[in-house]
């Protein structure tokens, strides 16, 4: 006879478990009947703090009869690659992307063409598995347990999937329809008390264009102020900019990288929104010493990036050329701009006086404040019962608070979908008791 391993291992350290397993084996037990039922016992603190991405909980509605306006997926009709026949050969994607960055951002720390980067702060570009891996690696390298990360008060929630396991707190900075508010950033930093709040933040995470969820672009004036504050308070900036080319107006707003004379900006780009979401290819541009360490970490821990993906994407980039890539960006931006106008028009038709929103300036999201609503969760639940899924605002908040906001994705939603969704929402809001 042997005691059940499954029910008694969870509170004991692995060494006990291994002894038990040895005992079990010598007792001639049948391992097939004793599959491990709980792996918590193996996990370190960081893994225990890891939680599933909140947005994933809404994915169960995909493929149902509900209208799904909750996804962050770019519309694949805008992707350039429909079919391909490739003869693969190693190509230098880093060089191509570095030159793209020169043309788009003219970074002050990038050495002239033909001169290789040598100083620690010289800009280089490396590839990653999307923006997500880029900011995860950067945060993982900089933040210690107990540190704070400066974020906008409505921000891309995947960032919390990284900070929580690390034992770090977000420090929220106010934002509005024009992005992060520099005067609040200054206030947060100048009133920081280490004795109560822990070490002064070293890092600011911001999405300067098409904020997810806000759809906001940081104005030029604010970009300059944010950069000046980063210099004053000696911050590094993660410029997470997947929607750069999806700005609805041209000329494109200058990136923080383009202003970065010190080498304090780590700019994250991706092909996810413009070329292929499934390719999982991103690129980070920033100081050589910093990014070399990420390359070491990636190669040491996960074997580096996928050469196959990089080679395929390189071939696509080469076929498009720099001008073709930039023109493609304009076409995709127009596509989303038109959709955003339909979304705003339809919202206007049904939700005037019931909700407030600002016209998005890039990307694929409408961020709406439901008037007279303290917490949008019950409203979102009622909307699901009527037939549409949108994202409840609280998941974008760094601190756990009720939020009256919802995020509506218009990437795939047709005019008819938006019409139904906003008319149902209006019905629900009209039935709401005063809060």
Q: How many residues bind ligand PLP (CB under 6 A)?
A: 12
Nearest residue (CB) to ligand PLP, 71 versus 263? 71
Question: Are 409 and 89 contacting, i.e. CB atoms less than 8 angstroms apart?
Answer: no
Q: What is the DSSP string of 337-385?
A: HHHHHHHHHHHHHHHBTTEEE---SBSSEEEEEETT-S-SHHHHHHHHH
Contact flag: residue 204 with ligand PLP (CB under 6 A) = no
**Whole-angstrom distance, CA of residue 258 vs CA of residue 237:** 13
Taking the complex as a whole, how short is the minimal distance between the CB of residue 70 and ligand PLP, in angstroms?
A: 12
Residues numbered 154 to 183 that lie near ligand PLP (CB under 6 A) are 156
Q: How many CA atoms lie within 13 A of 356 on its CB side?
A: 7
List the one residue from 107, 130, 287, 329 that touches ligand PLP (CB under 6 A).
Answer: 130
Element (H, E) at 179: strand 179-180
Contact flag: residue 310 with ligand PLP (CB under 6 A) = no
Taking the complex as a whole, how short is the minimal distance between the CB of residue 273 and ligand PLP, in angstroms?
A: 7
DSSP conformation class of 42: G
Nearest residue (CB) to ligand PLP, 223 versus 420? 223
Taking the complex as a whole, how short is the minimal distance between the CB of residue 100 and ligand PLP, in angstroms?
A: 16
Chain centre distance of CA 217: 15
Taking the complex as a whole, how short is the minimal distance between the CB of residue 129 and ligand PLP, in angstroms?
A: 7
Helix 377-386 and helix 415-431, axial crossing angle in degrees, nearest 10: 120
Question: Are 198 and 176 contacting, i.e. CB atoms less than 8 angstroms apart?
Answer: no
Nearest to 301 by CA among 147, 415, 137, 182: 137
Applying CB under 6 A, the span of 103-111, 129-137, 258-266, 294-302 interacting with ligand PLP comes to: 129-137
Nearest residue (CB) to ligand PLP, 126 versus 131? 131
Tokens matching residue 135: 């900011």
Applying CB under 6 A, the span of 126-134, 216-224, 244-252, 336-344 interacting with ligand PLP comes to: 126-134
Question: Are 289 and 262 contacting, i.e. CB atoms less than 8 angstroms apart?
Answer: no
Taking the complex as a whole, how short is the minimal distance between the CB of residue 61 and ligand PLP, in angstroms?
A: 18
Taking the complex as a whole, how short is the minimal distance between the CB of residue 196 and ligand PLP, in angstroms?
A: 30
Q: Give the contact letters, 205-224, x = binds to ligand PLP (CB under 6 A), - = no.
A: --x----x------------
**Whole-angstrom distance, CA of residue 11 vs CA of residue 3:** 15
Positive or negative: CA dihedral 305, 307, 311, 313? negative
Nearest residue (CB) to ligand PLP, 396 versus 424? 396
Nearest residue (CB) to ligand PLP, 207 versus 229? 207
Taking the complex as a whole, how short is the minimal distance between the CB of residue 277 and ligand PLP, in angstroms?
A: 6
Degrees to nearest 5, angle at CA 76 with 70 and 81 = 160
Applying CB under 6 A, the span of 86-94, 124-132, 386-394, 401-409 interacting with ligand PLP comes to: 124-132
Contact flag: residue 396 with ligand PLP (CB under 6 A) = no
Contact flag: residue 240 with ligand PLP (CB under 6 A) = yes
DSSP conformation class of 61: G
Residues numbered 254 to 283 that lie near ligand PLP (CB under 6 A) are 270, 272, 282
Q: Give the contact letters, 58-77, x = binds to ligand PLP (CB under 6 A), - = no.
A: --------------x-----
Alpha-carbon distances of 109 from 125, 224, 294, 353, 358, rounded to whole Å: 12, 17, 19, 49, 36
Residues that bind ligand PLP (CB under 6 A): 72, 130-132, 156, 207, 212, 240, 242, 270, 272, 282
């Amino acid at each position: 006879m042997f005691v059940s391993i499954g029910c008694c291992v969870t509170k004991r350290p692995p060494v006990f478990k291994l002894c038990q397993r040895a005992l079990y084996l010598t007792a001639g037990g049948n391992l097939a009947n004793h599959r491990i039922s709980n792996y918590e016992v193996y996990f370190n603190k960081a893994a225990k703090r890891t939680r599933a991405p909140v947005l994933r909980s809404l994915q169960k509605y995909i493929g149902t009869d509900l209208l799904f306006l909750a996804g962050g997926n770019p519309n694949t009709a805008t992707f350039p690659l429909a079919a391909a026949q490739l003869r693969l050969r190693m190509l230098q994607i880093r060089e191509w992307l570095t030159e793209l960055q020169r043309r788009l951002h003219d970074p002050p720390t990038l050495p002239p063409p033909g001169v290789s980067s040598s100083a620690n702060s010289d800009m280089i570009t490396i590839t990653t598995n999307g923006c997500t891996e880029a900011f995860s690696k950067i945060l993982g390298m900089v933040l210690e347990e107990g540190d704070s990360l400066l974020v906008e008060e409505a921000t891309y929630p995947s960032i919390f999937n990284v900070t929580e396991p690390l034992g770090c707190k977000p420090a929220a900075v106010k934002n509005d329809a024009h992005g992060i508010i520099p005067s609040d950033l200054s206030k947060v930093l100048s009133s920081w008390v280490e004795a109560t709040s822990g070490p002064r933040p070293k890092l600011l995470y911001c999405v300067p264009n098409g904020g997810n969820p806000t759809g906001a672009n940081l104005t030029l004036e604010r970009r300059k102020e944010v950069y000046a504050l980063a210099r004053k308070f000696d911050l590094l900036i993660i410029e997470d900019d997947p929607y750069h080319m999806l700005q609805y107006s041209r000329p494109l707003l200058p990136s923080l990288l383009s202003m970065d004379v010190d080498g304090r900006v780590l700019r994250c780009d991706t092909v996810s929104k413009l070329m292929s979401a499934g390719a999982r290819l991103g690129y980070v541009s920033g100081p050589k010493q910093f990014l070399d360490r990420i390359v070491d970490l990636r190669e040491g821990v996960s074997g580096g990036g996928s050469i196959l993906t990089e080679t395929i994407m390189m071939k696509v980039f080469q076929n498009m050329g720099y001008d073709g890539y930039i023109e493609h960006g304009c076409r995709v931006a127009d596509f989303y701009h038109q959709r955003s106008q339909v979304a705003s028009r339809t919202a206007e038709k049904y939700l005037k006086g019931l909700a407030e929103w600002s016209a998005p300036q890039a990307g694929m999201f409408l961020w709406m404040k439901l008037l007279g609503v303290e917490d949008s969760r019950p409203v979102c639940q009622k909307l699901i019962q009527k037939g549409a899924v949108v994202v409840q605002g609280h998941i974008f908040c760094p601190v756990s608070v009720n939020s009256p906001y919802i995020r509506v994705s218009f990437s795939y939603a047709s005019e008819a979908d938006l019409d139904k969704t906003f008319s149902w929402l209006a019905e629900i809001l009209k039935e709401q008791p005063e809060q």
